[in-house]
Structure 1
Amino acid sequence: MIREYAAQTRMIRSGDGGCEELMNLVLLLDGQSHDEIDRMGPYELKQARRTAMDRQLSRAQVLACTCVGAGAGHLDGPGYDLVFIDEASQVTEPSALVALQRAGKDVKQVVMLGDHKQLPPTVFCDEEALSVSLFERLIDEGVEPVTLVEQWRMHSQIAKFPSQAFYHGWLLNATDDNKLQSIGATKSNVELVHVAPLQQQGNETKRGPSACNEQEAARLVEYLRNLEVASPKNAYAETPASIGILTPYLAQKQEIEDLLRRDRSLSRLNIEVDTIDGFQGMEKDLILFSATRSNPHGSVGFLADPRRMNVMLTRAKKSLVIFADGTTLEKSGSPYWEAWLKWARQNAAITGDDFPESRRSEQNKDFEDTGTSGGSTWRRRVDSSNQSQKRLAQDSSGVHPHPRSSYKYLRKDKGHLEARNYL
């Protein structure tokens, strides 16, 4: 329906106007000829472009721009009836306010779309507390969000743990699992490849401020090389499988890219390598994840943030393969990683080096097994003193989860409006 509406609607994308060809195209759309444009002097051309842009903007029913771009002077006008802010959970409050100010005093509705359970705005200095988006602040202040609960991306096995750990088990799978069969090395749609440390201090090394794990990178590339989707047949297929490789660290990203460039059979494939932060909002048929960290202390750095973990776990459509030193993740103290490893032992394929059974005999302290589906349903235990919330916040690098009661969920099976969600 949105596409049909867009086809009938005049829409313009606002930019910085720095592209000569684009600005000349605006003149052509405004009725100028190529000869007329060529005869114009610099000042006349600048004025003509400004006039043409103003005229096109006045005709447009939909304006697409960034939040900060909405503050551009050439967009001055009467305002807008409706404002959509996409990925609102990644927009800083000042940036969001720029867009809202552009809407004008007569705006009828503002719709903010986002997921504060995933990555927040990227902020390099936290002195001004800009890491909390307006989207999240409104929820903290008691504004009830409408939560879209149907996911149309992942095989149900991939979606299971994120749904339980981050969305209270309320995500509904609208996907057809028969069309999302595993394309990894096993029939399981989720696989953990345990890369045991070769030395006592672990496999990770420092490269400047970043971290690298050469052994894990080599194992990942070797694994990929042996997959059918990495064969020349897939490379030249009409609809080849899409492949993404994620890692928390820039140095590990560069190490994997170097290995792929040296491999002639893999260099032909359309493989996207990126950090988790750079991949939010994207998806691939196959996701290979390199956790990188391998040390005797259980230090996992960026991976301690459950929002980053959530993004990583929800990018794959057919297969998610995690390469990690499982013992490091197990020692991390993160309730999310402990819960995931427990879940993986029961629900995923575990391959690679021998991964010893967990030495933790007690139940996870921040996630409680409800006893359904073979112990695969988890819910956060919040006691009356709220101590578990405080522990979870400390373990999650300052992430403060919201209590379940603060959400309004639309559930098809409870007679509410059916809604669809693209994570």
Structure 2
Amino acid sequence: MNAYDAHKQRAARRRALAELASASGTSIHIRCSICERDVPATRWDNHITQDQYHLRQKRFADISAQVQAAAQNRNSITVSGEGAVINLGIIEAAGVQGLSPEQNAQITISNESREGLITLARIGFASSMQSDAQGTSFSATLRGASRFISYGQPRTVTITLHPSPVGRFEDTLELQFHDLHRRERFVIIRSISAVVGFAADYDFLRPHAPYVKPPWKPREPEPSAIPTSRPPTWSKTKWVKKLGEYPIPPDLAEALNNPVHQARVKGFMPGELSVWNYSEFWQVLLHIEEDARRCALSRYNLYNTEMKAVYPKYRLSVPGLSEGKPSVIVGDKILVKKSNDDSDSWYMGIVHAIGFKELDLYVNEKFSLHRSGNKADVRFQLNRLPLRRAHQAVTHPENPERILFPEGRHTDGLRRCSEAQLANLDLMNATLADNLEQLETVAAIANMPPGSVPFVVFGPPGTGKTVTIIEAIHQILKRNPGARVLACAPSNRSTDLLAQRLSALSPAQLLRLNSLSRKYSDLPEDLEDYSYFNANQVFAIPDQPTLKSFRVIVATCVSAGIPYGLGVQAGWFSHIFVDEAGQLTEPDIMIPIKPMLDAQTNVILAGDVKQLGPVVRSSVAREAGLKTSYMQRLMSLPIYDLSTHRGLTVTKLIKHWRSHPAIMSFANDRFYSGELQACGDEAITHSMLRSDLLETPPFPIVFHSIAGADEREEGSPSYFNVAEASMVTKYCEELVTDRKVRIRGDEIGVISPYNGQCGRIRKLFGRSDRSLEGIKVGSVEEFQGQERRVIIISTVRSRRHNVVHDLRHDLGFVGDPRRFNVAITRARAMLIVVGDPRVLSLDTTWRSFLTYVRSKGGWRGPGRDMNLDTFPSEDPAAYAIAANEQAARDVQEMLQRIKTLIVERNVADGWEIPFPDELKEDDDDEAFMDRPGEEAD
């Protein structure tokens, strides 16, 4: 049994004991092997988490102390550079594919004793001694033939970094001496570092000050505040049905806010989801999620910060605002008070305008700041509107089983589409005529009997899912003059796309319904005629009669709660479509569905459960089911089995129109059972095969191995990696100037999981002497549903001790197969991935991808010979633990070799002690610092 399986087994046994103790009320204790104390079983999880954390800290402290001891001069021998890293500096790289020139540095060894008779017995590097050694880029030589280090005759050791690709190179130089008089050997070490890169980029992007994690503070109770008016630019809306507040019940709030009572939270869960407890089940999870969001938002509260009076408004500078940390939209509430005010007199401010780093607030007129002392305390308030609408949806009294828990009996009367029905399609989009799967899907949706079970369109990347449902909507409108459609998607971006694809309809037929808080400037110009806004260029909501005059309403799922609030009756919409349905939590997707359907309404879901899923902040809510989308839950039911119900209740599009077959191949085999068929236009998909940037033409994928360093800037928790940002920029510059293959900037996309990295790349673009205009840089979420001829991915992370944390939280690309899937399937003709293979290989999906690229000759840079077959387990945590075990074995080998505990820097970074499954909430907050939050609706 390996260490990971043993860990899981012990954790399961102890958890069972804890549950037994809790259920029986008996006092059961577990002996802790770390602190050797008897711990009550009911407190075991919390205790072991803390103890393992302290043990890990102690081990790192021990390692650090012993490394420092090994770096001390001793036995009369002095080696220059004591207490510092011997840095060879930044060596200028020779372009994307070139090697740096050779670089040398020297250290001096002196003997301070006349009596000492000492030789330099061996010069070596720690990395070359490890069990999985891939060699080192450094070498060291002693000048002169003699090995003796004699008094008054200093010796010189030359350290050489051999021609190397772009990246950071670190190693530990081991100097083993032999004291002939004492008949003993001893070792002195020195850390060696060098960077191959572009010095100007490093100077331009270096952090001004390091990131410091804000100190933990106990959560403060929510104060009452003197209210203020909403933005005067907003139009008034005549609501017919009032939206409830849905506060967290006091007893649940107490359990969530008190760490001692955290174990009680699970007691509020009503058991397995069913039609009988549907409302209660989701409400509890929504409350738990809300608490986690509040806690995360409180991290951004400001104290004794400057606030400018720009009467009648106040202007507030918010660190991280440009990165969406915190995420603030117009209409949000922010509490303020004077910093020197010891009372609890808080005033509510309403956000009226948002700039790049500042926002404008209107505050109650009783609040004032003196110009001579304009310091204020600021508390951000969670925008609860999306949560309140989700509560409203799940608590709606109608819980139709055919929608929530469909079974075989609900499919009576359903028939697969016939040849006659296919032939009867009068297509709006003629390109669908030769695609049987799309035609069958359109026909199945258009011919659904009223009151059918939800129909699921499973659309892998590039298979034309959105095009298919747009055609289905047109067919429904053609066939049934009384049909009315509500079409939704998770974000404004994806919803705009639906509206643009439906723009063959007139503005009298189609409404793009926008939230009041959306920025007018964010709306695509071609949708202005389809939207309502007032004279202040602020979006407005039409009254009920006007709303009901449209045949098709397109809105985000959150804004799709507006018709219900205006009093539009259930059943008014004959069809409700939700695109990208796999990205939504079940309560969110119910906003447009439950309150608006009757016994005749049909629901159509389109999406891909193998791509982006819902973003859930609370680990408790995730594990309890909030992370499982409604679409994913339905597809796990028997009546959505593709092998038996394909074309009846579910369909899978399999013709892939986007990518070169080699780009599609990995995702196809990994996620889609090899069913996808490459059907793309070769004039596009094969258009980059003559590019000099390819490592092995005609294979259109490059994995550029680079060992950089992930860093963070003061005031921002978001990671960036200068080496990767620089390399991505060089690739873009070479692409737009490639004479063999002509490509425009708007045909290139750059994806990175961190806002900090996206910002650095944009900065480099801004100072480039090449025209990089039009190249889009953004997160995976920003590229969902999009494509580019060339995609470049920067994975950023380059330190194992950070990435083990990521594996636990599905953060970034590492450890989240669905985000990985989206990222690599955006490319049409060329895919370039820039990353550190030591880190990426900790994850099973990435490890398989690296193996695939290497086997096809697409690997560029160091690491081609690294062992990618060591850990066959499919569990990402098993990889991390196995890597840690290997690091520990390397330490033991060093102990045997030099009699001193010496841990090379990268190994120390990787030696991590696995935490139990239940993690502290602090970890949740840090893990989601760079996850996309709820999009402004």
TM-score with structure 1 setting the length: 0.70
Q: Render the CA deviation track for 1:340-359: whole Å, top value 9, x for unaligned.
A: 111111225222x2333132
Q: How does 1:264-343 map to 2 (within 5 A)?
A: 264-267=769-772, 269-295=773-799, 299=803, 301=806, 302=812, 303-330=814-841, 332=842, 334-343=843-852
| Contact 1:229 1:241 survives alignment (8 Å) | no
Structure-2 separation of matches of 1:359 and 1:298 = 22
- Pairing partner for 1:257 from 752, 762, 774: 762
Equivalent residue number for residue 13 of structure 1: 512
Aligned to 1:133: 629
Describe how 1:123-202 pairs up with structure 2 within 5 A: 123-129=616-622, 130-144=626-640, 145-183=650-688, 185-186=693-694, 187=697, 188-195=699-706, 197=707
Residue 234 of structure 1: how far off its partner (Å):
5.9
Comparing 100-109 with 318-327, greater Cα deviation is found at 100-109
Provide the rounded CA distance (Å) in 1 between the counterparts of 2:769 and 2:725.
17
Q: Which whole-Å deviations, capped at 9, do the CAs of 1:73-107 have from their partners, x for residues lacking one?
A: 23623521111111101111111111112432134
Query: SS of 1:79's equivalent?
Result: coil
Letter in 1 for 2:847: E
**1:57 and 2:547 correspond:** yes
Classify the secondary structure of the residue corresponding to 2:674.
coil
1:217 aligns with 2:725: yes
Q: Which residue of 2 aligns with 1:349?
A: 858
Q: Partner amino acid for 1:161?
A: F
Structure with higher RCO (Cα < 8 A, 6+ apart): 1
Deviations 1:373-397 (A, max 9, x none): xxxxxxxxxxxxxxx5xx3687699
Aligned length: 337
Query: C-alpha separation between the residues in 2 aligned to 1:257 and 1:61?
Result: 42
Distance 1:19 1:270, change over 3 A: closer
Mapped contact 2:658–2:685 kept (Cα < 8 A): no
Q: 2:586 aligns with which of 93, 104, 127?
A: 93
Q: 1:62: how far off?
A: 1.3
Deviation of 1:158 (Å)? 0.6
Identical amino acids, percent of aligned pairs: 26
Matched letter for residue 209 of structure 1: P
8 Å Cα contact 2:787-2:827 kept in structure 1 = yes
Separation (CA, whole Å) in 1 of partners of 2:725 and 2:517: 40
Tell me the SS of whatever aligns to 1:226: helix
Matched residue, 2:872: 365
Shift of 1:141: 3.7
Would the aligned equivalents of 1:79 and 1:102 in 2 still touch at CA under 8 Å?
no
* Aligned-partner Cα distance in 1 for 2:800–2:618: 31
Structure 1 equivalent of residue 606 of structure 2:
113
Determine the C-alpha separation between the residues in 1 that align with 2:759 and 2:748: 17
* CA deviations over 1:389-420 (Å, ceiling 9, x no partner): xx3687699xxxxxxxxxxxxxxxxxxxxxxx
> How far is the alpha carbon of 1:277 from its aligned partner?
2.9
SS state of the match for residue 589, structure 2? helix
Q: Secondary structure at the match of 1:215?
A: helix
Displacement after TM superposition at 1:19 (Å): 9.0
Alpha carbons 1:194, 1:355 under 8 Å: kept: yes
Correspondent of 2:568 among 76, 79, 97 = 76
Structure 1 residue 164, shift from structure 2 partner: 0.7
Task: Say if 1:245 and 1:289, in contact at 8 Å, map to a contact too.
Answer: yes
Q: Structure 1 residues 209 and 252 mapped into 2: Cα distance closer, same or farther (>3 Å)?
A: same
- Taking a change above 3 Å as real, the CA distance of residues 226 and 75 of structure 1, as seen in their structure-2 partners, is farther
Give the SS at the match of 2:614.
coil
**Cα distance in 2 for residues equivalent to 1:365 and 1:154:** 29
* 8 Å contact from structure 1 (residues 212, 252) kept in 2: yes
The aligned counterpart of 1:410 is none
Which 10-residue stretch deviates more, 128-137 or 214-223? 128-137
Seen in structure 2, the aligned counterparts of structure 1 residues 132 and 20 have a Cα distance that, compared at 3 Å, is closer
Alignment of 1:66 onto 2:66: no
5+ residue gaps, structure 2, are 1-426, 430-470, 475-501, 524-528, 641-649, 807-811, 881-914, 916-937
Alignment-mate amino acid for residue 316 of structure 1:
A
TM-score, length basis structure 2: 0.33
CA displacement at 1:148 relative to structure 2: 1.5
Q: Distance in 1 between matches of 2:632 and 2:586?
A: 10
Deviation at residue 69 of structure 1 after TM alignment: 1.2
Q: What SS is found at the alignment partner of 1:59?
A: coil
In the alignment, residue 764 of structure 2 is paired with which amino acid?
L
- Per-residue deviation at 1:57? 2.5
- Distance in structure 1 (CA, Å) of the matches to 2:518 and 2:837: 49
Give the drift of 1:230: 7.1
C-alpha spacing 1:11/1:296, structure 2 compared with 1 (3 Å):
closer
After superposition, what is the alpha-carbon deviation per residue over 1:225-260, rounded to whole angstroms, capped at 9, x for unaligned? Answer: 1224678x968x7xx651111111121111111111
Tell me the equivalent position of 2:710.
204
1:255-284 CA distance string (max 9 Å, x none)? 1111111114234x2011112233222211
Q: Aligned partners of 2:795 and 2:675: how far apart in 1? A: 27
In structure 2, what is the Cα distance between the partners aligned to 1:298 and 1:320? 26
Alpha-carbon contact 1:79-1:107 (below 8 Å) kept: no
CA distance 1:256–1:230, shift in 2 (3 Å): farther
Q: Which amino acid aligns with 1:11?
A: L
3-state SS of 1:158 partner: helix
Q: Quick one: distance in 2 between partners of 1:255 and 1:140?
A: 42
Deviates more, 1:155-164 or 1:275-284: 275-284
Tell me the SS of whatever aligns to 1:321.
strand
- Deviation track 1:177-236 (CA, whole Å, cap 9, x = no partner) reads 3432253512431111111x3xxxx522234422221111111111221224678x968x
In 1: Cα distance, 2:863 partner to 2:513 partner: 53
Question: Are the structure 2 counterparts of residues 395 and 96 from structure 1 closer, same or farther at C-alpha, using a change threshold of 3 Å?
Answer: farther
- Name the SS of the counterpart of 1:124 in structure 2: coil
Deviations 1:44-69 (A, max 9, x none): xxxxx97x743433232211111121
Q: Is 2:610–2:818's contact at 8 Å kept on the other side of the alignment? A: yes
TM-aligned CA distance change 1:167 to 1:16, over 3 Å: same
Does the Cα contact within 8 Å between 1:70 and 1:102 map onto a contact in 2? Answer: no
Distance 1:172 1:104 in 2: 37
Q: Which amino acid in the other structure matches residue 131 of structure 1?
A: K
Q: Is the 8 A contact 1:79 1:106 kept in 2?
A: no
Backbone CA RMSD of aligned residues: 3.4
Question: Residues of 2 paired with 1:118 and 1:64: CA distance?
Answer: 23
